[in-house]
């Protein structure tokens, strides 16, 4: 796999510190932990994007947690020898097929989150088909 500049920068950063040999499980746990740190920033608030953009301190904290998550995600894909760009493109293809844009955009707005919600129906059918 040819590495892009960001992946290469992350790989070098980790190598320089001897942090370049984690287990896949350690990285998966780290992604979850950092995601929780991101979520913690919203523990007692439900800020809008506008509020966040107007709060430099909170925005900086958000950027830090998002950066942590992205770095771990790029690290795990790099160690698996998979391009994160390919993963994103493949995933988008799957989601486009599963949730056709026209159907999603035109669904009854009143049903969103309710028992008639098409999105939830598709998700539930897929989960039931797996088990």
Alpha-carbon gap, residue 65 to 33, rounded angstroms: 10
22 alpha carbon, distance to own chain's centre: 20
Least CB distance from residue 83 to Mg ion, whole Å? Answer: 25
The CA dihedral of 77, 79, 83, 84, to the nearest 10 degrees, is 20
∠51-46-112 over CA atoms, to 5°? 115
Distance (Å, whole) CA 59 – CA 5? 25
Nearer to Mg ion, 31 or 83 (CB): 31
Q: How far is the CB of 77 from Mg ion (least distance, A)?
A: 19
> Which position's Cβ is nearest Mg ion?
68
Beta-carbon contacts of 124 under 8 Å, excluding residues fewer than 6 positions away, are none
Our CB check for Mg ion shows the closer of 34 and 74 to be 34
- Which is nearer to Mg ion, 41 or 122 (by Cβ)? 41
Q: To the nearest whole angstrom, how small is the minimum distance from the Cβ of residue 93 to Mg ion?
A: 31
Residue ranges binding Mg ion (CB under 5 A): 34, 37, 65, 68
Indicate the residue among 36 and 85 with the shorter CB distance to Mg ion: 36
Shortest Cβ distance from residue 117 to Mg ion (Å)?
A: 33
């Amino acid at each position: 796999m040819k590495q892009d500049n960001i992946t290469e920068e992350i790989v070098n950063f980790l190598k320089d510190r001897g942090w370049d040999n984690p287990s896949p499980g350690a990285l998966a746990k780290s992604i979850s932990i950092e995601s929780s740190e991101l979520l913690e920033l919203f523990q007692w608030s439900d800020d809008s994007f506008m509020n966040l953009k107007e709060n430099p301190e909170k925005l900086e904290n958000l950027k830090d947690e998002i950066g942590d998550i992205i770095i771990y995600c790029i690290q795990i894909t790099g160690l698996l020898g998979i391009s994160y760009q390919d993963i994103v493109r493949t995933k988008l293809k799957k989601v486009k097929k599963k949730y056709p844009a026209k159907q999603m955009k035109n669904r009854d707005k009143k049903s969103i989150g309710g028992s008639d919600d098409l999105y939830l129906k598709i998700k539930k059918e897929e989960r039931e088909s797996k088990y």
